[in-house]
């Protein structure tokens, strides 16, 4: 017995609605699957990034920031090969400063040729673990050309490296002391509006001065653009003027070579530790870029506590820190 016309219409309508329901259900499941897939992919990427960060001493931006214009900074910390404990401490201090959006910061410990057998083993282990050591072809010295060896070596090092580097490899290169504490995000934010060519940045000496074109920048940490680094390598002016207080000598190079037409005085976001009080000191404050003369553990602890350096410590049953 054939179904009547109303029954046929009902059957057809029911079939259409059932097919639509199945399509909607499939779409919902697909969205859920894609969400779970993307969530898993994101979690894997984060884990992969964290493992890479732990294997090399650098503070870099996440892949999500690649669409932003990236600032690339190399920070060199001159030290001595035997200062293992100080390097390990600074790795902690800078390693916890989390990735900065739109910035790539590499930190290297800089010293001259190794002279002891134990250094050849222990420093080699450091390099294998952290890849953050730069050994210059020079005899260890102070005020006899180590700063020149550092800056003049960089163009060749980073253009002939096995690793692929952009051009230029860095926008800015800094030299800083191992008793300075830089707050990297504040440093990056201060650099964003500045020129990327012919730039000389730091804390103007003498302490009362605010004019960056008169004297030179303090050794607590000064930074120049990459074009000045290339000029140092090729110019005869630095080669013929190596000896003397190296930070003052560096300022002499800029003046004699008519370089660094763009200068930035970061005073008073950069300053010496408050004690003992001098014309170069003031109290710690939130807008700090760098604190200098952290000569002992007590001063380091006071500074790190003030800036709440351990704020991101995750609670765990493995430890109890009140």
CA distance 174 to 181: 13
Q: How far apart are CA 62 and CA 83, in angstroms?
A: 31
Q: What mean pLDDT value characterizes the chain?
A: 85
Mean pLDDT of 291-305: 98
Distance, in Å, from the CA atom of 253 to the CA atom of 256, rounded to the nearest integer, reads 5
Token pair, residue 305, equals: 């506590």
Position with higher pLDDT, 2 vs 164: 164
The DSSP secondary structure of 8-36, one letter per residue, reads HHHHHHHHHHHHHHHHHHHHHHHHHHHHH
Q: What is the pLDDT of residue 36?
A: 35
Output the pTM of the full model.
0.79
State the pLDDT at residue 38.
42
Give the Cα separation of 129 and 14 in Å (integer).
68
Proportion of the chain above pLDDT 90, given as a percent: 74
* Amino acid 24: pLDDT: 52
Q: Is the dihedral of CA 53, 112, 122, 290 positive or negative?
A: negative
Determine the pLDDT at residue 162.
72
Q: How confident is the model at residue 139 (pLDDT cuts 50, 70, 90)?
A: very high
Is pLDDT of 276 > 60?
Answer: yes
pLDDT above 70: percentage of residues in the chain: 78
pLDDT for 13 equals 60
- C-alpha radius of gyration, the chain, whole number: 28
Q: How far apart are CA 227 and CA 286, in angstroms?
A: 32
Q: Tell me: pLDDT of 272 over 50.
A: yes
CA 33 – CA 62 distance, rounded (Å)? 25
Work out the widest C-alpha separation in the chain, in whole angstroms.
Answer: 112
Percent of the chain that is helix, strand, coil (3-state, to 5): 40, 15, 40
> Residue 9 has what pLDDT?
61
Residue 17 phi, psi dihedral angles, 5° rounding: -65, -35
């Amino acid at each position: 017995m054939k179904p009547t016309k109303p029954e046929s219409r009902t059957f057809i309508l029911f079939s259409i609605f059932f097919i639509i329901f199945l399509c909607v259900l499939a779409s919902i499941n697909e969205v859920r699957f894609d969400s779970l897939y993307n969530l898993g992919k994101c979690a894997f990427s984060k884990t992969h990034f964290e493992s890479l960060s732990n294997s090399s001493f650098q503070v870099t931006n996440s892949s999500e920031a690649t669409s932003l214009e990236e600032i690339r900074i190399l920070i060199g910390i001159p030290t001595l090969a035997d200062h293992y404990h100080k390097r390990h401490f600074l790795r902690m201090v800078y390693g916890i400063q989390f990735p900065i959006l739109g910035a790539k910061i590499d930190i290297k410990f800089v010293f001259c040729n190794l002279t002891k057998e134990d250094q050849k083993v222990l420093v080699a282990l450091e390099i294998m673990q952290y890849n953050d050591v730069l050994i210059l072809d020079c005899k260890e010295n102070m005020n006899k050309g180590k700063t020149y060896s550092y800056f003049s070596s960089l163009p060749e090092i980073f253009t002939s490296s096995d690793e692929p580097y952009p051009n230029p490899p860095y926008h800015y290169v800094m030299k800083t002391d191992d008793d300075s504490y830089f707050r990297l995000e504040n440093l990056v934010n201060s650099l964003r509006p500045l020129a990327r060519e012919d730039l000389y940045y730091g804390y103007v000496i003498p302490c009362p001065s605010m004019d960056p074109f008169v004297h030179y920048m303090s050794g607590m940490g000064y930074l120049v653009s990459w074009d000045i680094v290339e000029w140092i390598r090729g110019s005869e002016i630095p080669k013929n003027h190596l000896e003397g207080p190296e930070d003052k000598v560096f300022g002499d190079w800029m003046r004699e070579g008519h370089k660094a037409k763009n200068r930035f005085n970061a005073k008073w976001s950069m300053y010496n530790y408050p004690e003992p009080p001098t014309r170069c000191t003031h109290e710690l404050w939130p807008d700090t870029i760098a604190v200098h003369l952290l000569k002992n553990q007590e001063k380091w602890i006071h500074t790190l506590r003030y800036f709440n350096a351990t704020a991101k410590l995750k609670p765990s049953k493995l430890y109890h820190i009140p």
